[in-house]
């Protein structure tokens, strides 16, 4: 392990992060909301912290290896998640415990979007902007993590993507080409964000809300500047725009890159994960809409039924967590179904949460193969994904991932029951955190302000685990990892 | 498919089954409980039904093939489950709907032990005996199914056992040696039953209760002749005997056979599934007992805490469903933990329910291997189980099984929520039926009499699916199976 270099890199990260206080400072001045000094002090503290990590180590050089990668990635997200709480603590308009501040910060950065705050509409705009910006930056980070870094680390079968990502990714060294890959992906991400913001503005949001919500839309983050989320705008047009950009955010950015490079939509149509995802979304919508119809929830109003079914399905299954309606009076099983869709989540290499569609698809095809094998015991069946047969090693990694993920969901649910939640609420809390969904139902439908501090810390842990594809972080808990 | 021969075999099965009315008839005469005629008519109806299936086909001959096996096994359990309802319908002391009668019969035969009846203590003894006998016969059937038949069908990785079972099991034909294997296993099963009954009698039960409960103990069935299950006897000694024989019932009968043949307990000690199971049980007990301690549930009474922790852990994790205490005031998470243990269930080749320990162990070791592979990407790690490395094909079958099983649990839970249960109760109902646990918590803690008819039918389906290791039945729902 190259601890010196890792410390140095962390120092640089913090110094770079400190400059993200600039937009909130500008906004604080613009709206004169009284947060200027808070953000400036946050900048100073975080910059100096970074400097104090970097300075003693700045001469150290070493090529980071694959194994350092697990530690670096986990530290990046954990340290940034914790340090990101400073602006919440410093803000004079907010009286918040350290637990709550760290929760909000980690929830932002992991694009979870679970919140302990209420009265958002009254908060300083600069602080609201900071929250949205956390999600946007987290989304950026996750795309690079999922497409450029995790495949090299071999987490959860993501070697699958090695061959498909732009640039040669077969080296075991961490640095080369990451920058180049990142640049290409970020151009797409920024383009989506700007387009989304312009459309939101056109559809009726003010500039501030348009930009703020574009941040949490393409990152499938789900933070809003209003307590009532998108219900506040009460606009089918805005909801439609949200659905479209959430959907884009939940697709693989490697796929967007391929489509962008070939200047054609064919890349999407032929992609097996895209097709599986669309198929799933359509069946989700059918199930939710027919549930609403069966209970005559919108008194036969087809357009309202479809509108909210589509919105909630896309929002929950991608792990975004925006809401278009107060669904607390929806049929219970529909609500739980929505929560369960977040376990499969979005596509790999997207900003979406959950186990990822590609894994769900492989597991599904694998299970079908086992059924076929029972009928033709001597037949040879490959697990196909698109036109290729999935590699056995990849399948094994995927199964290992899925197994551990389900085990963790169950464990977190039990832990949340232990903190006093009823079983349904506990499951919803697990899904909200581990799948980076952010939105709860039942006892946590209106936020997580009232759960115990212990539950909040467990949620922080779950959010980080989920965002780092579980294994990246879990591997650090094995003695084997630390052996030389 | 050899439909003629399958019909003939079914006919024979029913005629044989009709003779199991004999013990209840004898008991009805002995206690003069008024059910003699009901059981005699049930005998006549079932025998004639069997005869009418057998007679037109009795000259047909054909060697049944592997593929017929799926259909035969599923039909055996389904038809017997349905036909077994007749004595409930005919009994004058019982006013019961067809749904409830079929539910009770399938629940008995699949050794689930979920009941829709109340007032057991007042029912005719012959009918109570019939219920217990159903479980005992179901347990017998399941042992042969799991050890002699499923390995040949290749269901869920049970090829693993091919090499270990007595007699050569490598043929693809269904008939040879099954009879011989069955005989050896049944001798052990009967020996356990007799010993258990004698010990129950010695510990204070009357003869009727001793025999009746020995039937539902070694079969991990969980039916009782009293509404209050084992609480009725309020005896630590009886509970201890129950724990011991439940534990034996939840071990592989192939393992019992090996120990019996070698006249040594060494076979147990070296068996990897046995070791994993014991390890699990011990950790379950630690978790449950510390949960009870933490909430000071028994006011510091260590022996009561341990007594009930051990009993409930063994009863739930094996899928038996006896209760030693009214646990409705136990900490919620402990109760849900108990329910969750039933998903792993007992050992393969036992009468226990759930996914089976061998599969849990393989999945666990596989996941550990994936963690190791992340740290040493070029290392070669086999998934070890005991001294052997698990075959890749077996692992794939196991993963396919586990994936489908979890998917089904989630689906059944959603369906039960749809019928109006709260999410916790719905999960408990899923576990009670799919894992053949039989005992519920929360809304179904005192039985399933009050759930909707639709829920009862879904439970019947889940009980059969679970008992037939899911794939045996699921394969019949694929078009591929029916293609020539
Ligand atoms: K989210
Ligand atoms: K049972």
Q: Is the pLDDT of residue B18 over 70?
A: yes
Residue B396, pLDDT score:
87
Q: Is the pLDDT of residue B174 over 70?
A: no
Distance CA B45, CA B27 (A): 20
The share of chain B scoring above pLDDT 70, in percent, equals 95
Measured CA to CA in angstroms, residue B329 lies from A424, B292, B297 at distances of 19, 11, 9
Tens digit of pLDDT for each residue in A96-108?
999 999 999 999 9
Residue A177, pLDDT score:
63
Q: How much is the average pLDDT of B25-44?
A: 93
Distance CA A294, CA A298 (A): 10
B contacts of A399 (beta carbons < 8 Å):
366, 399, 403
Measured CA to CA in angstroms, residue B240 lies from A414, B295, B307, B385 at distances of 29, 25, 9, 31
Chain A and chain B share a number of CB contacts under 8 A equal to 130
Distance CA A475, CA A155 (A): 10
CA-CA-CA-CA torsion for A367, A368, A370, A375, nearest 10 degrees? 160
CB–CB contact A153 B374 (8 Å): yes
- Nearest CB to A423 within list B70, B399, B424: B424
Nearest to B64 by CA among B154, B174, B143: B174
Distance CA B432, CA B448 (A): 10
B contacts of A418 (beta carbons < 8 Å):
331, 333
Residue of chain B with shortest Cα separation from A158: B374
Q: Is the pLDDT of residue B167 over 50?
A: no
Please give the mean pLDDT across all residues of chain A.
Answer: 89
A contacts of B399 (beta carbons < 8 Å):
366, 399, 403
Residue A78, pLDDT score:
95
Residue A315, pLDDT score:
96
**Residues B431/B424, Cβ–Cβ less than 8 Å:** no
Q: Is the pLDDT of residue B234 over 70?
A: yes
Phi, psi of A431 (to 5 degrees): -65, -40
Residue A299, pLDDT score:
86
Distance CA B178, CA B462 (A): 27
Distance CA A231, CA A322 (A): 9
Distance CA A409, CA B334 (A): 16
Write out residues 127-156 of B within 8 Å (CB-CB) of A: 153-155
Residue A260, pLDDT score:
85
Tens digit of pLDDT for each residue in A223-242?
999 999 999 999 999 999 99
Burial of residue B300, with CB atoms counted within 10 A of its CB: 0-12 exposed, 13-18 middle, 19 or more buried: exposed
Say yes or no: A54 contacts chain B, CB-CB below 8 A.
no
B contacts of A417 (beta carbons < 8 Å):
332-333, 336
B contacts of A374 (beta carbons < 8 Å):
70, 153-155, 471, 475
Which residue stretches of A55-124 are H helix? 66-83, 86-90, 98-109
Our CA angle for A265, A266, A268, nearest 5°, is 75
Please give the mean pLDDT across all residues of chain B.
Answer: 89
Cβ-based neighbours of A358, under 8 Å, separated by 6 or more: A157, A160, A273, A276, A347, A348, A385
CB–CB contact A337 B414 (8 Å): yes
Say yes or no: B268 contacts chain A, CB-CB below 8 A.
no
Q: Is the pLDDT of residue A167 over 60?
A: no
Task: Note every long-range contact of B3-7, with CB atoms under 8 Å and residues 24 or more positions apart, other chains counting.
Answer: B4/B57, B4/B60, B4/B62, B5/B57, B5/B60, B5/B61, B5/B62, B5/B64, B5/B68, B6/B64, B6/B68, B6/B71, B6/B72, B6/B75, B7/B53, B7/B54, B7/B56, B7/B57
Distance CA B162, CA B445 (A): 39
pLDDT band at A205 (very low <50, low <70, confident <90, very high): very high
CB–CB contact B332 A422 (8 Å): yes
Residue A484, pLDDT score:
67
Residue B385, pLDDT score:
75
Write out residues 55-94 of A within 8 Å (CB-CB) of B: 66-67, 70
Say yes or no: A380 contacts chain B, CB-CB below 8 A.
no
Q: How much is the average pLDDT of A155-184?
A: 56
How far does B25 lie from chain A, in Å, by closest CA? 42
Residue B169, pLDDT score:
39
Query: CB A195: neighbour CB atoms within 10 A?
Result: 16
Residue of chain A with shortest Cα separation from B419: A333
CA of residue B407 to ligand 1 center, whole Å:
24
Q: How much is the average pLDDT of B446-467?
A: 95
Q: How much is the average pLDDT of A88-100?
A: 93
CB–CB contact B337 A66 (8 Å): no
Indicate the range of A180-194, A470-484, B367-381 predicted with least confidence: B367-381
DSSP string, A235-270: -HHHHHHHHHHHHHHTS-HHHHHHHHHHTSTHHHHH
Say yes or no: A333 contacts chain B, CB-CB below 8 A.
yes
pLDDT band at A443 (very low <50, low <70, confident <90, very high): confident
Q: Take residue B159 and report the two structure tokens written for it.
A: 């090829």
């Amino acid at each position: 392990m190259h601890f010196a270099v890792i410390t140095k890199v962390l120092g640089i990260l913090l110094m770079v992060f400190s400059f993200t206080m600039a937009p909130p400072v500008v906004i604080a001045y613009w709206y004169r909301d009284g947060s200027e000094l808070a953000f400036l002090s946050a900048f100073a503290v975080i910059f100096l912290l970074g400097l104090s990590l970097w300075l003693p180590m700045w001469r150290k050089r070493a090529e980071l290896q694959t194994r350092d990668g697990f530690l670096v990635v986990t530290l990046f997200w954990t340290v940034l998640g914790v340090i990101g709480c400073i602006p919440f603590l410093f803000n004079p308009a907010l009286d918040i415990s350290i637990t709550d501040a760290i929760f909000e910060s980690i929830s932002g950065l992991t694009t979870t979007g679970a919140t302990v705050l209420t009265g958002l509409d009254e908060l300083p705009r600069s602080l609201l902007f900071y929250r949205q910006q956390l999600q946007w930056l987290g989304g950026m980070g996750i795309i690079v993590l999922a497409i450029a870094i995790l495949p090299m680390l071999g987490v959860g079968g993501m070697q699958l993507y090695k061959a498909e990502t732009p640039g040669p990714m077969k080296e075991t060294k961490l640095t080369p080409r990451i920058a180049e890959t990142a640049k290409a992906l970020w151009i797409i991400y920024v383009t989506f964000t700007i387009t989304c913001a312009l459309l939101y503005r056109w559809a009726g949001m003010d500039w501030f809300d348009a930009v703020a919500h574009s941040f949490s839309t393409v990152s499938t983050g789900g933070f809003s500047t209003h307590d009532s989320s998108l219900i506040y705008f009460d606009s089918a047009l805005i909801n439609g725009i949200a659905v479209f950009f959430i959907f884009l955010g939940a697709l693989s950015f490697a796929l967007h890159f391929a489509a962008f490079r070939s200047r054609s939509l064919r890349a999407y149509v032929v992609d097996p994960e895209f097709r599986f995802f669309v198929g799933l979304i359509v069946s989700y919508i059918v199930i939710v809409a027919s549930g609403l119809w069966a209970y005559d929830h919108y008194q036969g109003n087809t357009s309202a039924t479809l509108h909210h079914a589509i919105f909630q399905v896309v929002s929950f299954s991608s792990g975004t967590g925006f809401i278009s309606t107060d669904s607390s009076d929806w049929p219970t099983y529909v609500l739980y179904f929505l929560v369960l869709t977040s376990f499969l989540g979005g596509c790999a290499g997207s900003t979406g949460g959950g186990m990822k569609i590609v894994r769900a698809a492989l597991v599904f095809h694998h299970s079908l193969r086992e059924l076929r094998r029972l009928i033709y015991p001597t037949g040879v069946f490959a697990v196909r994904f698109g036109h290729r047969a999935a590699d056995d090693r990849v399948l094994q990694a995927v199964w290992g991932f899925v197994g551990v993920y389900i085990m963790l969901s169950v464990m977190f649910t039990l832990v949340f029951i232990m903190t006093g939640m009823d079983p349904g609420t506990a499951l919803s809390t697990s899904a909200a955190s581990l799948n980076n969904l952010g939105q709860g139902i039942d006892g946590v439908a209106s936020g997580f302000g009232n759960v115990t501090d212990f539950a909040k810390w467990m949620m922080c842990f779950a959010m980080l685990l989920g965002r780092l594809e579980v294994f990246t972080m879990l591997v650090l808990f094995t003695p084997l990892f630390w052996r030389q």
